[in-house]
Structure formats: C-alpha cells, structure tokens
Chains A and B, each alone.
Chain A
Amino acid sequence: MRGKGLALFAVAALMASLLFVLPGASAGPTRLTVSFTVWTFAVDLIKENIRRFEQRYPNVEIKLNDHNWGQYNDTVVSRFVGGSDAPDVLYSSDHWLQQWAAAGWIVPLEDHFPQVKEMAKSFAPYAVDGMTYKGKIYGLPYYADPMGFFYNEAILKKAGFTLPPATWEELLAQSKVIKEKGLVKYPIGFGFSLQEPFSIEVFISMVYSRGGDLFDKDGNPVFDRPGSATIKSIQWVRDALKAGVLNPESLSWDVQAGAAMRAATQVYSISRASALWAFNDPRQSKEAGNFKIALMPGSTHQTVGFVRFYAMSSQVPKRGKEALDAAWAFLNYFGGPGPDNSYPVVRKWATDFGLGFAQMPLFRDTEILLSFGKWVDVPLLQRIGQRYSKVKQGLTPQFAQWDVFTRTELHKAYLEQQTPEQTVKNMAAKWNELRRK
C-alpha cells in the first residue's frame, strides 16, 4: 500500500513538473526562439542589434552564442556533425559556403523566401557570387570588403618615401631602407597563422596583384605552372623573411599583425579594408591618422573581394512556418533593408566599425560616406572595391579543405622546408585528389 502511494506521488510530481517544462504551459504569449551563432567580434554591438530586433519583433527571442574566429569553421562543423546543437541562423563566409551547402547543413534562402532573388539585385555582384552555390543564393551579406594594403605614412616619410610601394620588389626595397634606418625592426607583418582564415585571402591577393590566377575556367589548377604568380609570391615571402624585413612571428599571427600596426612597430600590412577603421581610431592607436590604404602592390593591383553573410541552417524549415517567418524577419533585419527599408544593422556596422557592405543603395548614403571619410580615402576605397576586387577562384565544396591543406604547405615553403615548386605541386595534387573524390 505504502509502495503504491509512493509511486502515485512520484507520478503526480512528474506530471506537475512536466507542466512547467512543456512549451505553452506558462502564461502569456509564446516566444519563438531562434539560435544565432557568430564569430567573436564586437559582441556588444551584436547584442544591441538583437535587443532592437526583439523590441521590433517581441514574439521572437534570439539566443546568441559566439566562437573564436580562428576556430569558427571547426566549431560550427562539429556542431553540425553532432546534429543536436546546430544553430538556426549563423555567420558564414564564401570560404565555407560550398562545403556547408554540399553537406546539407545550410539551405538556399530563395527556396523558402522567393523575395531574396529580387533583393539580391541590390547587392554587389561579387558578393552575390560569394553567396551562391549551384545557382542559388544562400545568404544575406553581413559585410563585404576588399583585401587592403596598408602603410604608415608617417614612418614612410621619415624614411624618405613620399609614395607607397607600387610593386612587391619596391616594397622589399623600401622595407630594407626602413630597417637600415632603425625606424622599426620588422617593417612588414601578415596574419599567416594556420588558424587564421584570412591568411588564404592575403595570399591570393598577392597572387592576383601579380596578374596571376589559381584555376582556369574549368577549375583546373594553373598556379603550379612554371614561373606562376603563386611561385613568385611564395618566393617573395621567403626573400622578405631572409632579408629580416618580414616579421617571422607572422607565421603564428592572426589579428596581431593589426596590433603591431597600431603600435607603430610595423609599417606595412594586408588585411580586410575595414581594418583601417580601427587603425585610425584615436581610442585604439596613438598613430591614428597616419594609416593609409593603397592599391595592392603588383602589376595589376587586383585583390580579393570577399563576403561574410547570414545563412540559415536546414533545421529551420523542419521546425515549420513560424520558425521560417521568424528566421526571415531576422535575416531581413540583419542583412537586408529591414521592415523600414533603412538597413538598420548593416548601417550600424558601417558607421560604428567601418565594415564594408555589399548593399549598393548604401554606397550613396551620406551618413555612411561622411563616417567613412574620417578614416579612409573613400574614392580610393571605392575604386579598389569596384575595379580591382575579384572573388576567390576555386570556390567549390573542396575549397575549405584545400585552403587548410594549403596553409600548411605555404608555411613549409616559407620556412624553406620545401621549394616553391614542390609546394605548388603538392597544392595541385591535393586539389585534384579532393576534386576526384
């Protein structure tokens, strides 16, 4: 009897607790939760944007989590592979789009939101290319930038130079003079760490600026041809390291190359163009105002233009129409014009952090142009973005794997553990192997 009583009590307690746990059991209107995963950058502003969004859409609750940029792809992949912890909406990049889409982790936006096709007409073409897989658009831009070549004008003047280097050879020559004059120990520094996803964009920019290509129109490697721009770029890095003008720490640096620029212990760097905003921010550097952007050294001055964007995971359609509606409200607010056609989040990133954008109507926005004018030569930036920027070649499902492999191979070449020729041969072999698979 006693046992029966206890069992009944246990069942009653369990049911009572379920009442609290089950959705819809609590009083008041239900809020639909959308999980949002980002890499760690200006999380306070992201939270502020989320707060504004939630005020506008009180029935949607955004659950934010962030991962380190260097390990972002690995972490997100592990969450997708795990299956139970995949986010609803998330940051992605043209690096990873093809891989994620081929694995079925993210879905084409236009399959669920036909309005995206029309909206995409207002985005810069290279950004649309970077968000497209098999002819379908998978995202709305978070930000889009060309890779920029930066220099510290004050140090350049002290060294007796009035203009930034126009070629890679000239960069080497200027750096040697700066070093000899004792102005800085290492005039050049790049973020070449194996963990730094930007490192491949820096390297490809170097190749593009010499007029080189990575692949032909059929996707076959051309970087392994004798005397290619890739081989010359690798050789240039080796020469710069040997001459003691390129900081050897570059091989373990990610964003630290930017820190060295801001501290004026370095004169030249390559990064996303919007990084110049932080360099020229007096709160972040005593040298603010001295940093300039220039055309990428080289014969063509071409550079990589990239896009990072908001993607939607395949779990959202499975959750039903309400989840899809909430996801669209979010995507439109964060990456699109939003409900008031004012680009609330894109504008905020541009004015508060100098992030570039792909939403073309904003190129004529006076508020943004004025804000950009405080830290960059706007006409030059526009010229780099529109005339010299090129999407990364080889954006296929195997690009992300090849990128990781290539970073290691490039390191070995820089460290003179193998020749530039052997390096490009290994890179080409890996590309072909991944392609065959």
Chain B
Amino acid sequence: MARLHEHGTMTELALGRAAARPRRRAHVYPYLSILPALLVVGLISIYPLLFALDLSLYRNVLTEPLDHPFVGLRNFTEAFGSYYFLRSLQTTVKFTALIIFGTITFGVLVGLYLNRAGRLAGFLRVAILLPWAIPTVMAAIIWRWIFNGNYGILNALLVQVGIIPEYISWLANPYLAPLTLVVTHVWKWGPLAAIMCLATLQVIPRDLYEATHIDGGGGWTTFRFITLPFLRPTILLLLILETIAGFVTFDLIYVLTGGGPGDATTMLAWFAYAEIFRFLNLGKGAAMAFVIAALTLGMALIYVRLLRSEEYTT
C-alpha cells in the first residue's frame, strides 16, 4: 500500500514537474524576449547615466589626469552658486518661454490656414515642412547669413521697406542675439507644430462648426469653444516638446552665436558643454548635465500629468 502510495505520489510528482516546466517556461519567456532590448537600453541609457553620476561626485579636471578626489556634491553646489549658472538659467527660461509661445502660435495659426480648402493647400502642406527637414546646423548657418549685420538679407529688406533706418548688428547685440535664436528655432520647428495642429484640426467634425454657425456663433466663438478644446492635447504635447527643446538647445548656439555676445546667449546646455570641453571640468559638466536632466524631467512630468487630466476630462 505504502509502495503503491509511494508509486502514486512519484507519478503525481513526475506529472506535476512535467506540467510545471511549460508553466515556468511560459513565465520566463516574456522576460527572455525583452532581455535584448533591456540590455541595449541599459547599455545606452542606464550605464551612461550611472557613469555621469559617478563623474559628478569627483573633481575630474582633464589637465590633472592623476588627481580625481571624491568631492561629494561640491560640483553641484559650486554650479548652483556661480553667477554663470544663474545667468544661463535665466537666459534658458526666457528662451524657453519665447520658443513655446512662438512655436505654438505659429503652429496654430499656420495649421488653421492650411486647414482651409484652397488650391494651394496641398502644395503648402508639403512646402511648409521644408525648414523642418533641414538639419539644425544647416538652418543655423543659413540664418547666420540672413542675420549678418553688414551683408545680411534681413537688414537689406528691413531698410528697403523702411522699418529700420540703417543696418543692425543682430548677432553682436546682447538684446537681439537671443531673439535670433528664437526666430531660427521657430522657423525650424514651427512647421512640425503646424502639421501636428493641422492633423488635429482635420478630425474635428464639420457638423460642430455648422451647429455653431446656425446658433449665430462667430469666428472667435467657434475657435474658443470648438477648435481650441480639440487642439488642447496637441498644444500640451507641443508644450512638453518645446520645454525640453528649450532646455537642451545647443546646436543653434554652437553655430549661430557661440554663447555671445558676452554671455547673452549662454544657456544651460551650452554652459555644461563649456565646462566639459572648454574648461575640461568633467565633474562639474556632468553635474550640470544632471541638473538640466532633472529640470527637464520635472517639467515634463508636470505636463504629462496635465495631459492625463486633459484626457480624462475630454
């Protein structure tokens, strides 16, 4: 009996194990499937992040290759306490606010225009994307010539039209140089915003507009109560994208102004770059990169939360 029982138990056990194996396999399989992707993400995102974090905790100046003492958070405190950090933060915030305003306004207005049926609409929808398709460095070079104070076409145009009496030094003026960055950015990224707005506008049911029209609603009422609510998620998305763009803008500065004149266009990303590649201070540069990442992430999270609440209410 005992033997039988034993036999029975063993069979059950054997059967149980056989049944458990596919279950375990099924359990492990999804993890194995995503392992390659996880490894890639780990290699290109997490490892550099940890490496940068490690760097930021040491004094690591390249001209002193044998001396890297642990300094804790001193790189962060030194950065926060410096005039140049505060100045570049101020410039970054102003620039970000202006490009958010410029890009979204451009996107909405041009999107509305392109949404109207017209003979040129098809052509314009393609043509508008050209600036977006041009690499940023190329765009900056083009605008560098346009803004040239002695030979630039912008000056020639404005003088001919009579808006300005004489040529202006756009890139050498501390008040105008930041605006040249804003104009170039909006010219480059505004078209994408316009196409995103256009895509949203095209899904708004026509009968809503007709109903408003019948009720006597004018252009502004239609825009305020129909168009804008539909556009809101797109605008929020653009807000996130432009905020991040504002905080990480580097290539435009590199080509167009080099951070100058003076420190008029020195923004956080440029400041971090200068710390690493010009002052050869890897520790401080890494700390700066973390600060930028934290600021951008913080703002992106706020926006995403707003976007989610928007989804629930619409």
Binary contact readout B8-36 vs A (1 if CB under 8 angstroms, 0 otherwise): 00000000000000000000000000000
Interface residue from A103, A400, A411 paired with B262 (Cβ < 8 Å): A411
Judged by a CB distance under 8 angstroms, whether A78 is at the interface is: yes
- A interface majority secondary structure: helix
Partner-contacting stretch, out of A117-125, A141-149, A158-166, A248-256: A248-256
Contact present for B174 and A81 (CB under 8 Å): no
User: Which A residues between 174 and 193 are near B, CB-CB below 8 angstroms?
Assistant: 193
User: Which A residues between 262 and 319 are near B, CB-CB below 8 angstroms?
Assistant: 265
Judged by a CB distance under 8 angstroms, whether A12 is at the interface is: no
Which residue of B is nearest A254, CB measured?
Answer: B258
Contact present for A248 and B169 (CB under 8 Å): yes
A253 to chain B, nearest CB (A): 8
Contact present for B172 and A194 (CB under 8 Å): no
A249 to chain B, nearest CB (A): 4
A422 to chain B, nearest CB (A): 12
Contact present for B258 and A195 (CB under 8 Å): yes
Contact present for A104 and B260 (CB under 8 Å): no
Contact present for A408 and B172 (CB under 8 Å): no
A278 to chain B, nearest CB (A): 18
Contact present for A249 and B263 (CB under 8 Å): no
Which residue of B is nearest A409, CB measured?
Answer: B262
User: Which A residues between 77 and 105 are near B, CB-CB below 8 angstroms?
Assistant: 77-78, 81, 99, 102-104
User: Which B residues between 233 and 282 are near A, CB-CB below 8 angstroms?
Assistant: 254, 257-263, 266, 274, 276-280, 282
A426 to chain B, nearest CB (A): 9
Binary contact readout A389-407 vs B (1 if CB under 8 angstroms, 0 otherwise): 0000000011011001100
User: Which A residues between 395 and 431 are near B, CB-CB below 8 angstroms?
Assistant: 397-398, 400-401, 404-405, 408, 411-412, 414-415, 417
Judged by a CB distance under 8 angstroms, whether A247 is at the interface is: yes
Collect the chain B residues with CB atoms within 8 Å of residue A74's CB: 277-278
Contact present for B65 and A104 (CB under 8 Å): yes
Interface residue from B149, B259, B260 paired with A249 (Cβ < 8 Å): B149
Judged by a CB distance under 8 angstroms, whether A437 is at the interface is: yes
Assembled-state Cα–Cα distance A362/B62 (Å): 38
Which residue of A is nearest B173, CB measured?
Answer: A248
Contact present for A103 and B278 (CB under 8 Å): no
Interface residue from A99, A265, A408 paired with B260 (Cβ < 8 Å): A408
Contact present for A99 and B280 (CB under 8 Å): yes
Contact present for A401 and B277 (CB under 8 Å): no
B81 to chain A, nearest CB (A): 13
Contact present for A249 and B64 (CB under 8 Å): no
A410 to chain B, nearest CB (A): 9
A95 to chain B, nearest CB (A): 12
Judged by a CB distance under 8 angstroms, whether A260 is at the interface is: yes
B252 to chain A, nearest CB (A): 14
Contact present for A81 and B262 (CB under 8 Å): no
B17 to chain A, nearest CB (A): 27
Collect the chain B residues with CB atoms within 8 Å of residue A408's CB: 259-260, 262-263, 266
Contact present for B172 and A401 (CB under 8 Å): no
Contact present for A397 and B150 (CB under 8 Å): no
Assembled-state Cα–Cα distance A77/B63 (Å): 11
Which residue of A is nearest B172, CB measured?
Answer: A251
Assembled-state Cα–Cα distance A401/B63 (Å): 10
Contact present for B262 and A401 (CB under 8 Å): no
Collect the chain B residues with CB atoms within 8 Å of residue A417's CB: 174, 262
- The tally of residues in B whose CB lies under 8 Å from a CB in A reads 29
Contact present for A102 and B260 (CB under 8 Å): no
Collect the chain B residues with CB atoms within 8 Å of residue A398's CB: 63
User: Which A residues between 187 and 212 are near B, CB-CB below 8 angstroms?
Assistant: 193-195
Judged by a CB distance under 8 angstroms, whether B289 is at the interface is: no
Judged by a CB distance under 8 angstroms, whether B61 is at the interface is: yes
Contact present for A411 and B278 (CB under 8 Å): no
Contact present for A103 and B65 (CB under 8 Å): yes
Contact present for A401 and B279 (CB under 8 Å): yes
B79 to chain A, nearest CB (A): 14
User: Which B residues between 102 and 156 are near A, CB-CB below 8 angstroms?
Assistant: 148-150
Collect the chain A residues with CB atoms within 8 Å of residue B231's CB: none
Contact present for B260 and A411 (CB under 8 Å): yes
Assembled-state Cα–Cα distance A265/B150 (Å): 10
Contact present for A437 and B150 (CB under 8 Å): no
Collect the chain A residues with CB atoms within 8 Å of residue B262's CB: 408, 411-412, 415, 417
Which residue of A is nearest B65, CB measured?
Answer: A104
Contact present for B63 and A412 (CB under 8 Å): no
Contact present for A77 and B277 (CB under 8 Å): yes
Known: A252-B149, A252-B169, A404-B279. A103 touches B260 (CB 8 A): no
Contact present for A103 and B63 (CB under 8 Å): yes
Which residue of B is nearest A430, CB measured?
Answer: B279
The 9 lowest CB-CB distance pairs between A and B, nearest first, are A251-B172, A411-B262, A412-B262, A194-B260, A252-B171, A102-B63, A248-B169, A195-B258, A249-B149
23 A-B pairs whose Cβ atoms sit less than 8 Å apart in the complex: A70-B258, A73-B278, A81-B276, A81-B282, A99-B63, A102-B65, A104-B65, A249-B169, A251-B260, A252-B149, A252-B257, A252-B260, A252-B261, A404-B278, A405-B279, A408-B259, A408-B262, A408-B263, A411-B261, A415-B174, A417-B174, A437-B61, A437-B64
Given contacts A408-B260, A412-B262, 19 further A-B contacts (CB under 8 A): A77-B280, A102-B64, A102-B65, A103-B280, A104-B65, A248-B169, A248-B172, A248-B173, A249-B149, A252-B169, A252-B260, A265-B150, A398-B63, A400-B278, A408-B262, A411-B262, A417-B174, A417-B262, A437-B61
